[in-house]
């Protein structure tokens, strides 16, 4: 997999968030979904990470190599970094090893 940048994932493990840094392919995909009741935001980014990345739904992700540790509350992270919240995680572990990756969408 070819990567065009780096990203930081804050993965929840045992009640605390641990930050991981990965090479990534980051693609902004901002769009809007209009429903009968009004506007609904949809995923704002599609990110390809290495297959070994520790990431799950509801983790937080941001573009760049960000050194920020959460001391007491995730609110600190939201105010300081403004990360995206992971919506989906799909392992793409088929094909040749160079093409294998984890596909993440986030909003």
Q: What is the mean pLDDT of the chain?
A: 89
Considering the domain 5-106, what is its CATH architecture? Beta Barrel (2.40)
pLDDT class of 72 with cuts at 50, 70, 90: confident
Cβ count near 14 (within 10 Å): 6
Of 83, 89, 91, the closest CA to residue 107 belongs to 83
Q: Which two tokens stand for residue 53?
A: 């990345």
Cβ count near 102 (within 10 Å): 21
β-pair partners for 55: none
How many whole angstroms separate alpha carbon 11 and alpha carbon 82? 15
pTM for the model: 0.87
């Amino acid at each position: 997999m070819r990567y065009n940048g780096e990203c930081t994932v804050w993965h929840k493990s045992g009640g605390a968030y641990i930050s991981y840094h990965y090479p990534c392919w980051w693609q902004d995909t901002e769009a809007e979904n209009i429903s009968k009741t009004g506007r609904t935001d949809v995923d704002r980014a599609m990110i390809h990470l290495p297959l070994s990345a520790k990431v799950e739904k509801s983790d937080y992700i941001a573009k760049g190599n960000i050194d920020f540790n959460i001391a007491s509350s995730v609110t600190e992270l939201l105010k300081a970094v403004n990360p995206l919240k992971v919506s989906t995680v799909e392992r793409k572990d088929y094909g040749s090893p160079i093409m294998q990756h984890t596909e993440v969408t986030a909003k």
